[in-house]
Structure 1
Amino acid sequence: MSFLSSLADRDHVFDFLVPATSPVDVRHGPILYLEDVSVSFDGFKAIDDLNLTIDDGELRCIIGPNGAGKTTMMDIITGKTRPDSGSVWFGSRHNLLTMNEPEIASLGIGRKFQKPTVFEALSVFENLELAMAADKRILPTLTARMTGEVRDRIEEVLETIGLEALRNGPAGILSHGQKQWLEIGMLLMQRPRLLLIDEPVAGMTEQEMERTAELLTGLAGKGKQSVVVVEHDMGFVRSIAGTVTVLHQGSVLAEGSMDQVASDPRVIEVYLGADPDEEAA
């Protein structure tokens, strides 16, 4: 008997938070489109006429110095921050600026913050089970029952994140890297179309970084997910990125392959030439 079904005896089933067939329409354009987006906080322009396009199934890396606008950009995409001007579209049908955070999440946009937030007293399996609940209110969550579809989905995600052998162990004993993978798995339970991932390898061992690179590159692709990774570790970025976008002062400074942006004099001046010890999220 699962953790949730052991708490109550009711006829209730989980539904996927996001349907298997996502409502996003990418037949005529990119999956994510930001045009002329600007936002200011107390006179400081955090985002300044930002233009960014993410294709369906793409794995894009976003880099830039402190204050470049990386976190604010993700806040805007997920509905946490409203821009002063501009357009943000998810596919060709969904204007994200007219939607709130839960509505945006339900479309299939998942976000993972830098610090993993898992339920350490629960098992790996139970964490994934909790992430599946469509209705996040306390009572429906606690009275939900396991279904075969949910169990199959958990098994699929466990294999994807490489934690099958640790399924019954408490999440609190996982290494830092394993907790990061578990949280990515919790997002995958909701069948997202777009994943926004903030500094996934901060604090990881070399071996964990290699496994994370394999995980993220395996997630992206047509018919799967589009993945946007904000990261400071240039070695890691080089290992996963096809296209790298460099933000500076709230707008795109450069974009291209890692070799192209690394050799751009502007990027070297404002970012890659900086003291790595001074770089932060």
Structure 2
Amino acid sequence: MTVLDTTREIFRRDQVWPFLAPEHSMVDVSHNMILYVEGLSVSFDGFKALNDLNLYVNDGELRCLIGANGAGKTTLMDVITGKTECDSGSVYFGQTINLLQRSEPEIAQLGIGRKFQKPSVFEAHTVFDNLELSLKADKGIWYTLRVKLNSADIDRIDSILDLIGLKEQRFMLAGALSHGQKQWLEIGMLLASDPRLLLIDEPVAGMTAQETERTAELLTSLAGDRTVIVVEHDMEFVRSIARTVTVLHQGSVLAEGTMDEVQNNRDVIEVYLGEESADARGEEIAAARGERA
């Protein structure tokens, strides 16, 4: 990859870098709640992707969101990160920050990071370089591109490499990593930007059993200092990491509780017995949006 290609990749239109956004005040979690979603509704050509949805997430919690295709999981994450506008409702980060009034770069700067299902890393660069590019900085853009790493930055990258289990691969090209390792690297890239809330979409899709187990350990280790919301279809994986599970159905919260509680919930059982029709609805919504639900 040439310098020009690298520059184009860094500044592609869908890339959100925290240093491009202005500084904002710290999130107020004095009530131990970091995310408030109330009465949220989103429509796509007549389809209710979200329908008067309410969701509350505690600071430092690891929450799992489950539901059939079209249940509203991706749309909810899109609204939280500023990618999609809602028809009605409110979304607050802490007590005072209205996310619906913020742009995508501003939301990233506030401390909300998102990882999509497909890993997005700079494959022609080393693992170390990927983490360096993701470090949070509040200086001017040209200074950021030219600045040399200080000892604190290097120590931070080293600690992230240790956390994601890629210390031995630090100088390996990211494109040479396994699928699971790329997923861990992207989580590390999120951590380098120092987020307070992480939104993780289907982190174990395509992973081996060993990689899945390692990912469970990684995500559970992040909870506490950070808040982690995981969207996942692998129920065994969800059971291994979640204390609280939220089930979405047709754009609303159907049930919430421990994994055992939601699996024994009569409404959840009825919905999953009708999962085929729910999947069909998901395909309709995806067609309306022009993307996968």
TM range (shorter): 0.7 to 0.9
What do the CA deviations read for 1:186-210 (whole angstroms, capped 9, x no partner)?
0000111000000000000000000
The reply to whether residue 54 of structure 1 matches residue 54 of structure 2 is no
Which whole-Å CA distance do the structure 2 matches of 1:149 and 1:38 have between them? Answer: 44
More helix by share: 2
Deviation at 1:41, TM superposition (A): 1.1
* Correspondence for 1:233: 234
The SS at the match of 1:31 is strand
Deviation at 1:269, TM superposition (A): 2.3
* Correspondence for 1:169: 172
Provide TM-score, normalisation by structure 1.
0.88
The SS at the match of 1:134 is coil
Q: Root-mean-square deviation (CA), in Å?
A: 2.6
* Correspondence for 2:243: 242
- Amino acid in the other structure paired with 2:251: G
Deviation at 1:143, TM superposition (A): 1.4
- Amino acid in the other structure paired with 1:92: Q
The reply to whether residue 69 of structure 1 matches residue 72 of structure 2 is yes
Moved over 6 A (4+): 135-138, 278-281
Q: Are residues 83 and 136 of structure 1, via their aligned partners in 2, closer, same or farther at CA, if it must alter by over 3 Å?
A: farther
Deviation at 1:142, TM superposition (A): 3.3
* Correspondence for 1:187: 190
Which whole-Å CA distance do the structure 2 matches of 1:150 and 1:23 have between them? Answer: 22
Which whole-Å CA distance do the structure 1 matches of 2:180 and 2:139 have between them? Answer: 27
Deviation at 1:152, TM superposition (A): 1.1
What are the residue-to-residue correspondences of 1:114-193 with 2, within 5 Å? 114-132=117-135, 134=137, 139-193=142-196
User: Pick from 90, 100, 103: which aligns with 2:103?
Assistant: 100
* Correspondence for 2:218: 215
Alignment length (residue pairs): 264
- Are the aligned partners of 1:133 and 1:141 in contact in 2 as well (CA < 8 Å)? no
Which whole-Å CA distance do the structure 2 matches of 1:35 and 1:85 have between them? Answer: 9
Could you tell me which runs of 5 or more consecutive residues in structure 1 were left unpaired when the two chains were aligned.
4-15
* Correspondence for 1:7: none
Deviation at 1:42, TM superposition (A): 0.9
Provide TM-score, normalisation by structure 2.
0.84
Q: Are residues 218 and 29 of structure 1, via their aligned partners in 2, closer, same or farther at CA, if it must alter by over 3 Å?
A: closer
Deviation at 1:29, TM superposition (A): 4.2
Which whole-Å CA distance do the structure 1 matches of 2:94 and 2:76 have between them? Answer: 17
What do the CA deviations read for 1:10-61 (whole angstroms, capped 9, x no partner)?
xxxxxx859xx97011012410000111111111111000000010000000
- Are the aligned partners of 2:136 and 2:194 in contact in 1 as well (CA < 8 Å)? no
Which whole-Å CA distance do the structure 1 matches of 2:252 and 2:195 have between them? Answer: 26
- Are the aligned partners of 1:22 and 1:193 in contact in 2 as well (CA < 8 Å)? no
